[in-house]
Chains A and B, each alone.
Chain A
Amino acid sequence: MLVFIIKKLANAAFVMLAVAFLAFLIFRLAGDPVDMMSTEQTTEADRELLREKLGLNDSFLVQYGRFVGNAAQGEFGISYRNGQDVLGLIAERFPATMELVIVATLLSLVIGLPLGVLTAIKRGRAYSELLQFGSIIGVSLPSFVVGILLILVFSVTLGMFPAFGRGDVVDLGWWSTGFLTKSGLLALVLPSISLSLYQVTLIMRLVRAEMLEVMRSDYVKFARARGISRYKIYFRHALRNCLMPVVTLTAMNIGTLIAFALITETVFQWPGMGMLFIQAVTFIDIPVMAAYLCIVAFIFVFLNTVVDITYALIDPRLRTAK
């Protein structure tokens, strides 16, 4: 078991090192940082001084090592655009994105689970087939299209929900939350729906497939033979055995949702780290881009590793797997 955990951790560390390498590569490929930080008046001597100060005269490997060391301590340097500390910029925007992602995840479970069970147990009925068909449409609609349509209907036409921004926020320490004010909650509605739609269809289809599989198993047939009520079988016995893959998918997709949130954030002008990233991309503000890449990949790898290890703790058969 210990060997398994160490292997998993080593693998995660390797992936993170590689991601850091990619982030570092962006710096090297996207041009000379001295050019970006200096103005017309900067003399050649000043440039050389800056070059020395930034450590650009060291070898490639030394620079990469320093980048990894700094990144591990949360040091991503200062933004080319406004000279602020990158980690501070991201930390400031982090709560906005996380609240959006958490609400979208909850929504996808609350809507996706019952729909999945429904389409499985009422298989063949018109409405369940329609839902199944609708799920393909849900997968096909890009999230920015969903966002635009929601804005068009609920903001422009009906005026029910705000189309941009986060509403009023309350600061709890460094975490600013929109959960505690009415305008904050109203502002969350449209973005979280548009972010969760894809995830809803994913969970619905997964639950449906798993339920159909479980319903064929012997213990369900046995429970039925014992005369246990249908709904008790569906929700007590069958659904429980479908939850494992759902939990895995949900945990693993949080990283993806954070990345996809950048599209939702752009549509709704949501002040999260995704919008910060897109602004950084348009200005080629590389420290911010690199930091965002590292943080998203870290969350992704972290959750994956946790899921893998938890799985192995629960199910001993998986411990020998590579």
Chain B
Amino acid sequence: MTTTPTATHPSLIARIRKSDLWWSFTHSWSARIAAVLLILLIGSAFFAPLIAPQNPYDAAQLDMWKSELPPIWQSGGEWPYVLGTDTQGRDMLSVLLYGTRISVMIGFASVVLSLVIGLSLGLIAGYFGGIADNVLMRVGDVVLSIPTILIAILVSAVVRQMLPVGLREIGASAVLVLAITLSGWVQYARTVRAQTIIERGKEYVMAAKLLNVPKRRIMFHHILPNTLTPVLVAATLSFGMAILTEATLSFLGIGMPPGQPSLGTLIRIGNQYLFSGLWWMVIFPVVQLSLLVISVNLLGDWLRDALNPKLR
């Protein structure tokens, strides 16, 4: 008579499969399509060094004689350049995979960083109120009165200018993460603040206070988990926004340099050849970027409806 622990405590997978969220997921075809697409896109980007036919950063692998090849289904296309090559002889499929990798990493890093900043500030402001709250709200007012894209452009331009010339290429992705974070943290701070104000008046917080639980523990262990539902939705949607902002900055020429292109940089480069018939240099990055953001947004949209108690 051996009872495995899973008998009394259902395993994580079993718990997920019994949850409302999973039910809603299996009943939404757009969410399932989006999830599969996203796993494919991010998975292929993550394993790019293993599956890409070529390392686009390695100049030794580039062949100038193979530049400007069209995709394989057009006459003149050559194996293994399935999606053709660009003007420098880089394999389009490989730069796409590596580019997606950069876009996703920058998007992910900036969402995580804005979450950390926004959650902490929102918790502190909501829990303590008073001056801290006032300062946060006023700073938020100012940040929100400047369109996000403008903040991102200015931060990225000024910070890059402050870096020594040698660091500008290497530090490009860090600068982008900083720029996107500074333009996006306010919404988390506001969401968490609003939720914290509701939570702090509830009985469990009162009980924790009476038990002399330290403030930091109340804030991060008791209140924070109860504020996370709206934050999760906001984080998913803003992951899509962050990827878009990165792409926009790179497209405008103040993001990733051509040597380590993100999807936005690839579109910028391809856009210069729009009238020379090299359509594959712009269409493939455009499609890849669109699919990536659309699948993230579809998931976010589904999550918002699924977690909204009013719609159940």
Residues of A at the B interface (CB closer than 8 Å) are: 11, 14-15, 18-19, 22, 26, 29-31, 133, 136-137, 139-142, 144-145, 148-149, 151-152, 156, 163, 255-256, 258-260, 262-263, 266-267, 278, 281-282, 284, 289, 293, 296-297, 300-301, 304
A29 and B162 in contact, given A148-B286, A281-B157, A296-B146 (Cβ under 8 angstroms) = yes
- Tell me which residues across on chain A come within 8 A of B283, comparing CB atoms: 152
Q: How many A-B residue pairs have CB under 8 A?
A: 116
- Give B272-289 as 1s and 0s: 1 = Cβ < 8 Å from A's Cβ atoms: 001100010011001001
**Can you show 22 pairs from A to B with CB atoms below 8 A apart?**
A22-B146, A30-B158, A30-B162, A31-B162, A136-B297, A136-B301, A140-B297, A144-B248, A144-B267, A145-B289, A145-B290, A148-B267, A148-B274, A148-B286, A152-B279, A163-B275, A263-B251, A266-B251, A282-B254, A284-B157, A293-B154, A297-B145
The 5 A-B pairs at the shortest CB distance, nearest first, are namely A259-B147, A18-B142, A140-B294, A140-B293, A281-B157
What 0/1 readout, one digit per residue, does chain B (211-248) give for beta carbons within 8 Å of chain A? 00000000000000000000000000000100010011
Residue contact B157 to A289, C-beta cutoff 8 Å: yes
Complex interface: chain B residues within 8 A of A151 (CB): 274
Q: Min CB distance, A119 to chain B, in Å? A: 15
Known: A156-B274, A256-B147. A289 touches B142 (CB 8 A): no
Q: Which of A14, A26, A266 contacts B154 (CB 8 A)?
A: A26
- Chain A residues, Cβ within 8 Å of B293: 140-142
Interface on chain B toward A: helix, strand, loop, or mixed SS?
helix
Cβ-defined contact, B142 with A152, below 8 A: no
Chain A residue contacts of B274, Cβ below 8 A: 148, 151-152, 156, 163
* Residue in contact with A300 in the complex, picked from B147, B153, B252, B254, CB distance below 8 Å: B147
Beyond known contacts A31-B162, A163-B275: 15 more, CB 8 A cutoff: A18-B138, A133-B30, A137-B290, A141-B294, A144-B251, A144-B267, A149-B286, A259-B149, A259-B150, A262-B252, A281-B252, A281-B254, A284-B161, A300-B145, A304-B145
Chain B: how many interface residues by the 8 Å CB criterion?
A: 39
Flag whether B298 is at the interface (Cβ < 8 A).
yes
Chain B positions within 8 Å of A144 at CB level: 247-248, 251, 267
B171: Cβ under 8 A from any A Cβ? no
B84 to chain A, nearest CB (A): 16
> Complex formed: what's the CA distance from A152 to B251 in Å?
17
A259 to B298, CA, bound (A): 26
B63 within 8 A of A: no
Distance, CA A227 to CA B152, complexed state (A): 54
Which B residues are CB-close (under 8 A) to A258? Answer: 147
CA distance A137 to B298 in the complex (A): 9
Residue in B157, B244, B253 whose CB lies within 8 Å of A142: B244
Tell me if B271 counts as interface (CB < 8 A to partner A). Answer: yes
B141 at the interface (CB under 8 A from A): yes
- 8 Å CB interface, B139-177 against A: 141-142, 145-147, 149-150, 153-154, 157-158, 161-162
When distances are taken between beta carbons in the complex, the residues of chain A under 8 Å from B275 are: 156, 163
Instruction: Known A19-B142, A281-B153; judge A140-B147 contact (CB<8 A).
Output: no
A145 / chain B contacts, CB cutoff of 8 Å: 267, 286, 289-290
State whether A137 and B294 are in contact (beta carbons under 8 Å apart), knowing that A266-B252, A278-B252, A289-B154 are contacts in the complex: yes
How far apart are A322's CB and chain B's nearest CB, in angstroms? 10
- Residues A141 and B298 in contact, CB atoms below 8 Å apart: no
